[in-house]
Structure 1
Amino acid sequence: MEYTTHTQGPCMLSVFSKTLGYVLIGTMTVSLIPQIVKILRKRSASGVSFVSILLTLEASSATVAYAIQKRFPVSAWGENIVLMHMNVVLICLLLRYNNKLKTSITFLAIYILFMLLTAVANCSQSACMGPISIKHACNCCKQVNTNV
C-alpha cells in the first residue's frame, strides 16, 4: 500500500521556491562581474552611467533593509545583497577612474555607516537571520500533519 499525504505538494513547492531563490542569488553573483572586470582592465569607467548604478544601489539597499526588518527568508531577497555589494564596487570604481579617489573613499565610508545604522535600527538580536536550511523549508509539512 502506497502512502501519500496532501502535504507533499506544499512542502515540495516550498523546497522548489527556496531552491529557485538560491539559484537566483548565484546567478546575480556573476551578473555584474564582466562590467567590473572591463572597468579594471581599461582603467576607465567611460560610458557607465553613475546615476543608473546609484539608483540600482538605492533600490537594492532599500530591499535588503526592508527584508531584514520583516524577517523574510534570505532566499527571497538574497540576490539584492549581492547586487548591493557589486554596485558599491562599481560606484567606487567610477569615482576612482574619474579622478575622484577622495570622493570614492568618502562615499564608501558614508554608505557603510548608513547601512550599519539601518541594520542596527531594524535588527534586534532575536530578529537577525540565522542559518536557513531545507529542513526549515519543510516545517510546513510537520505543521500540516499535526493539524490534521
Structure 2
Amino acid sequence: MVDVIKKGALLLMNQKCYDNYFLEYNFLDVSCFKALLSKGLGIGIIAGSVLVKVPQVLKILNSKSGEGINLMGVMLDLLAITFHMSYNFMNGYPFSSWGDNTFLAIQTVAIAALVLYFGGRKPHAFIFVVAYAILLYILNSGLTSMKVLFAIQSCNIPILLVGKLSQAVTNYRAGSTGQLSAATVIMMFAGSVARIFTSIQETGDTMIIITFVASTFANGVIFSQLLYYWNKPVGGAVKRDAPKVKKVKTKKDD
C-alpha cells in the first residue's frame, strides 16, 4: 500500500519533495509547494480541457447555427493551440504543462467544422478536417525542424490576439455574444490565467509565458463582453415601443 501511495505521489512531485512531506514532515518548503501546486493545476486544467469547449459544440448542434461565431477567429485560435502543442511536444516538456491543448485542438476542430457545415459549406468542413490532420502529422513527426517550430510558436502571440480580438469585434458589432457558450468563455479565461503560473514553474520558457499572458488578455476581453452583453438577445436587437406621433389639429377636426 505504501508503494502505491509513493508511486502516486511521485507523479505529482520529485523524490526530494516526497522525502520532505512524507519522511521529514516538512510542509513549509516553498519550492516543493509551488511545484506541487503547479502540477496539480496542470492536471486540473487538462481534466477540465476535456470538456471546456463541449458546451460550445452542443450549443451549435442544438441551434444548428454558428451565428455570432467568427470563423476566422476560430481558425486562428486553432492554429495557436496547434503550434503551442507541437512546440511543447517536440521540446519534451511535461505533459501537465501543455496536455490541455490536445483536447482543446480536437474540440476547436469540431467547432470550426460545425460552423462550416451549418453555414452551408459541407464539403469544406470535410476538407478542413483532412487538411488539419495532415498539418498535425507535419508538425509532430519530425519533418519540421525545431527552428521552424520556435518561429511559429513566436507567431502565436499575434495569432492569438488577432483571433480572439476578431471575435471581440464580431461581438461588438452584433451587440451580443451570439452562440458563444458562457461556460466555455469562463473556463478558457480561468485556464489561461492558471497556465501563466504553470508555465513559469514547469518550463521556464519565456516565449510560452508571454504567449499565455497575451492569451489571458484576449480571453479577458471576451469574458468582459460576456458579462456586459449577458441579458442582451442574439443580434443585439432590443424591442422598443414606437414613438407616439403627436396628431396635428386641422380645421376638419373642428
Does the CA-based 8 Å contact 1:68-1:122 persist in structure 2? no
Which residue, out of 82, 89, 112, partners 1:61? 82
Cα shift readout 1:36-84 (whole Å, capped 9, x = no counterpart): 1011111111111101111110110000010011101011011211211
Does the CA-based 8 Å contact 1:18-1:75 persist in structure 2? yes
- 2:104 maps to 1:77: no
- 2:59 maps to 1:26: no
Within-5 A mapping of 1:1-148: 3=24, 9-121=30-142
* Alignment RMSD: 2.4
Please give the secondary structure, in 2, of the residue aligned with 1:55.
helix
Structure 1 CA distance for aligned equivalents of residues 72 and 89 of structure 2 = 26
Does the CA-based 8 Å contact 1:45-1:93 persist in structure 2? yes
Higher radius of gyration, 1 or 2: 2
Please give the secondary structure, in 1, of the residue aligned with 2:98.
helix
Q: How many residues align?
A: 122
Over 3 Å counting, the alpha-carbon distance change for 1:122 and 1:9 in structure 2 is farther
Structure 1 CA distance for aligned equivalents of residues 50 and 24 of structure 2 = 41
Q: CA deviation at 1:116?
A: 1.2
Letter in 1 for 2:132: Y
Cα shift readout 1:87-126 (whole Å, capped 9, x = no counterpart): 1000110111011111111110011011012111169xxx
Please give the secondary structure, in 1, of the residue aligned with 2:67.
coil
Structure 2 CA distance for aligned equivalents of residues 26 and 57 of structure 1 = 19
TM-score normalised by length of structure 2: 0.44
Identity of aligned residues (%): 23
Consecutive unaligned residues of structure 1, counting only runs of 5 or more, are 124-148
State the structure with bigger RCO (CA 8 A, min sep 6), 1 or 2: 1
Letter in 1 for 2:141: V
Structure that is richer in helix per residue: 1
TM-score normalised by length of structure 1: 0.73
Does the CA-based 8 Å contact 1:53-1:91 persist in structure 2? yes
Consecutive unaligned residues of structure 2, counting only runs of 5 or more, are 1-22, 145-254
Over 3 Å counting, the alpha-carbon distance change for 1:80 and 1:122 in structure 2 is farther
